[in-house]
């Protein structure tokens, strides 16, 4: 997909599809058209409308769409930011017009979006919290007071509450 910026910084796209749920690294967003002389960096802000937004670095005018961006079906609002390096980070030079892109569903019912960085950190924090509650028994099998850390991938399970994660104990894993 190519985002083209006009001289008055109006953004237009050649394809309104950002991707499909479950895709990862399948599409590249390219930036073309009018670029600000004062800017030395560009980014694309994607706003999901639910309080979550991402700012993607458009280094070299391109960004590969990762699966964590395709987290839910529906429209997202987007805007290109032109920035320049300042004393304390980047300073905003110019913003494009806001435009809408779409994340489409998948035919496969079992396709889950890749967890976002924040969701992955949350899961890691939960593992650390659970691990801090137990004491090492000195067993070479990797069992920590009922928490089998040798199979962490199996220890994480989605709860009925949705995206929250919980840990299985050894007892639950063997049942």
Where do the domains of the chain lie, and which CATH numbers do they carry? 2-104 (2.60.40.3350), 117-174 (no CATH)
Q: Give the integer Cα–Cα distance in Å for 173 and 158.
A: 14
Element (H, E) at 158: strand 156-158
Q: Give the integer Cα–Cα distance in Å for 7 and 68.
A: 32
pTM of the complete model: 0.62
Tokens of 66: 């990762």
DSSP 51-97: S-EEEEE-GGGEEEPPGGG--SSEEEEEEEEEEEEETTEEEEEEE--
Q: What is the pLDDT along the chain (175 residues), one digit of tens a residue?
A: 999 999 899 999 999 999 988 888 889 999 999 888 888 899 999 999 988 899 999 878 899 988 888 878 899 999 999 999 888 888 999 999 999 999 998 887 565 656 667 777 888 888 888 877 765 555 444 444 445 444 444 444 443 333 444 444 444 444 4
Q: Which residues are registered as beta bridge partners of 3?
A: 13, 31
Tokens of 97: 């017009």
């Amino acid at each position: 997909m190519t985002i083209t910026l006009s001289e008055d910084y109006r953004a237009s796209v050649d394809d309104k599809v950002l991707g499909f749920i479950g895709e990862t690294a399948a599409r590249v967003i390219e930036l073309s058209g009018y670029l600000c002389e004062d800017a030395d960096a560009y980014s694309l802000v994607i706003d999901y409308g639910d309080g979550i937004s991402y700012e993607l670095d458009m280094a070299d005018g391109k960004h590969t769409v990762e699966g964590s961006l395709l987290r839910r079906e529906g429209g997202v609002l987007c805007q290109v930011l032109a920035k320049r390096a300042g004393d304390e980070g980047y300073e905003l030079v110019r913003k494009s017009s806001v435009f809408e892109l779409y994340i489409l569903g998948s035919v496969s019912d079992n396709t889950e979006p890749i967890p976002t960085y924040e969701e992955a950190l949350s899961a890691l924090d939960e593992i650390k919290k659970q691990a801090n509650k137990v004491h090492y028994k000195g067993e070479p099998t990797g069992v920590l007071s009922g928490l089998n850390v040798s199979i962490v991938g199996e220890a994480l399970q989605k709860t009925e509450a949705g995206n929250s994660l919980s840990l299985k104990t050894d007892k639950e894993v063997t049942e």
